[in-house]
Amino acid sequence: MRLRCPLCGREYDKPVQRCSCGEPVEFESFKGEPYIGKTVWERFWDFWPVEPSLEFSLGEGDTPLIKSKIGEELGVKLYLKNETVNPTWSFKDRGTFLAMSYAVKAGYKAVGTVSTGNMAASVSAYASRFGLNAKILVSESANDEKVRAVSVYGGDVIRVRGDYGKLYFESLRLGEELGVYFINSDNPFRVDGYKGIAFEIAEEISPDYVLIPTSSGGLFRGIAKGFTELMRSGLIEELPTLVAVQAEGCSPICRAFHDGKERIEHFERPDTIAKAIANPYPPSGNAVLKLLRDFGWECVTVSDSEIIEAQRELAGEGLFVQPASATGISALKRLAESGVVPEGSKVVSILTGSGLKTLSHMEGREIKECPLEGLENCMSF
Ligand SMILES: Cc1ncc(COP(=O)(O)O)c(C=O)c1O
């Protein structure tokens, strides 16, 4: 590593901030061959049910897999799949992009979704990108700030009075009648779009466990499908153990799983800080239950206080995620401490969405104020 002053030409072998002549310094020019990469859509071209419309891509997918310090304390090798860097700051963009690629090819002029959070923003943004109209159906109680952030992309946001649980099915019925293609939480193209998460992980490591925050079940099904397709294609030799993670305050899938039930039941009075995964009657709940049973996978619930602690720990590593996205880390703690995840295991936790979308419950740290003269007095460690 060499730094050089572009004005006086002085060179430095260690990282100084500025040249002794007072001017800025810069690294010496590098010579090398650029790696002209292909996107995950192109690398796995034959795995998609419809040709991805690359001209409308916003750069979703190909997210970083980061080694985490949190794993060291737990005796495992922990990697974080950072989905918060997607164009609308959540994994939803992968599924939205693929489903909209289908919608334009099928001649739809309008798309829709039922959501109040990440999916609403994603569908609204991609509808603008694809040149489609968007109908975003949100619940009566949806938080104003979130709704405004969705409408900024140009989609029609409609607050619906009535039973929010019934809205999913009503949207599909109305969509057929009115020619609006609804891209809800477990739309089959959306679910297939999530396979890219499994493909990208498998390109880098062979995990033993993958922790997946789970609500409707679409994400879990997509990642499961991605790994099983890789296995069938002979690209990986073993499947990881997938862990569906739910909040204690809304855990219809884990409850049915632990009670040995065949089908999920409506979870009365959901109450958790992890609002993004608080679907009381997940449309893919039964499908997730079957996967858990068929493959001997796990379902784990975590409390709000464990979620907040995990969210803070991730922030302490530079990653600000929303409460729903921190649940994987809380679950890992339980599993590692109880010995279910053995020491030395390779574990991936999916960080599904950005914390900037859920600022209201966060308490930041104390902000210091200090006069410029005497600034050093405020900078003690
Ligand atoms: C941040 C976040 N994590 C996880 C999930 C769970 O995804 P799914 O509903 O597909 O199970 C959601 C769903 O909205 C979400 O917004």
Tokens of 369: 């104020």
Host H or E run for residue 184? none
Q: From the alpha carbon of 220, which atom of ligand 1 is closest?
A: 11
Q: Is 193 in the pocket of ligand 1 (CB under 6 A)?
A: no
Tokens of 103: 């919608």
* Averaged pLDDT of the chain: 94
Neighbouring C-beta atoms of residue 298, cutoff 10 Å: 19
pLDDT tops 90 at residue 140: no
| Mutational test site, ligand 1, from 216, 254, 292, max ligand atoms within 8 Å of CB | 216
Q: Which of the residue ranges 166-175, 197-206, 370-379 would you say has the lowest mean pLDDT? A: 370-379
Kindly report, residue by residue over 187-245, the tens digit of the pLDDT.
999 999 999 999 999 999 999 999 999 999 999 999 999 999 999 999 999 999 999 99
- pLDDT at position 33: 65
Q: From the alpha carbon of 216, which atom of ligand 1 is closest?
A: 9
For ligand 1, atom 3: residue with the closest CA: 352
Residues paired with 373 in a beta bridge: none
Q: From the alpha carbon of 353, which atom of ligand 1 is closest?
A: 1
- Nearest one of 305, 300, 312, 291 to 338, comparing CA atoms: 300
Who wins on pLDDT, 208 or 380?
A: 208
Topology of domain 92-186, CATH: Rossmann fold (3.40.50)
Long-range contacts of 23-32 (CB under 8 A, 24+ apart): 27/1, 27/2, 27/3, 28/2, 28/3, 28/4
Nearest-10 Cα torsion for 317, 320, 322, 325: -40
Report the distance separating Cα 265 and Cα 255, nearest Å. 9
Host H or E run for residue 10? none
- Nearest one of 330, 281, 288 to 308, comparing CA atoms: 330
| Alpha helix ranges (H) inside the chain | 40-43, 70-74, 92-105, 118-130, 144-151, 164-178, 188-193, 195-204, 218-232, 252-258, 285-295, 304-315, 323-337
Spell out a b/e string for 55-93, using b for 16 or more CB atoms within 10 Å of the CB, else e. Answer: eebeebbbbebeebebbeebebbbbbbbbbebbbbbbbb
User: What is the domain class of 40-48+57-89+194-357 according to CATH?
Assistant: alpha beta
Neighbouring C-beta atoms of residue 208, cutoff 10 Å: 17
311 contact partners, CB below 8 Å, separation of at least 6: 321, 322, 323, 326, 355
Check: CB of residue 267 under 8 Å from CB of residue 213.
Answer: no
Binned at pLDDT 50, 70 and 90, residue 143 comes out as confident
pLDDT tops 80 at residue 364: no
Report the distance separating Cα 218 and Cα 119, nearest Å. 12
Who wins on pLDDT, 377 or 16?
A: 16
Burial of 154 (0-12, 13-18, 19+ CB in 10 A): exposed
pTM value is 0.91
Residue reference for tokens 């800080």: 273
Binned at pLDDT 50, 70 and 90, residue 50 comes out as very high
CATH 3.40.50.1100 range(s) for the chain read 40-48+57-89+194-357, 92-186
Report the distance separating Cα 332 and Cα 159, nearest Å. 37
**What's the CA angle centered on 124, arms 93 and 328, to 5 degrees?**
35
Binned at pLDDT 50, 70 and 90, residue 328 comes out as very high
| Mutational test site, ligand 1, from 90, 245, 356, 357, max ligand atoms within 8 Å of CB | 90
Report the separation in Å between the CA atom of 12 and the middle of ligand 1, taken as the mean of its atom positions.
49
Pairing of strands 346-351, 209-213: parallel
Check: CB of residue 351 under 8 Å from CB of residue 80.
Answer: yes
Report the distance separating Cα 108 and Cα 286, nearest Å. 30
Binned at pLDDT 50, 70 and 90, residue 133 comes out as very high
Q: Is 276 in the pocket of ligand 1 (CB under 6 A)?
A: yes
37 contact partners, CB below 8 Å, separation of at least 6: 62
For ligand 1, atom 16: residue with the closest CA: 276
| Mutational test site, ligand 1, from 277, 311, 319, 349, max ligand atoms within 8 Å of CB | 277
Check: CB of residue 71 under 8 Å from CB of residue 77.
Answer: yes
Report the separation in Å between the CA atom of 6 and the middle of ligand 1, taken as the mean of its atom positions.
49
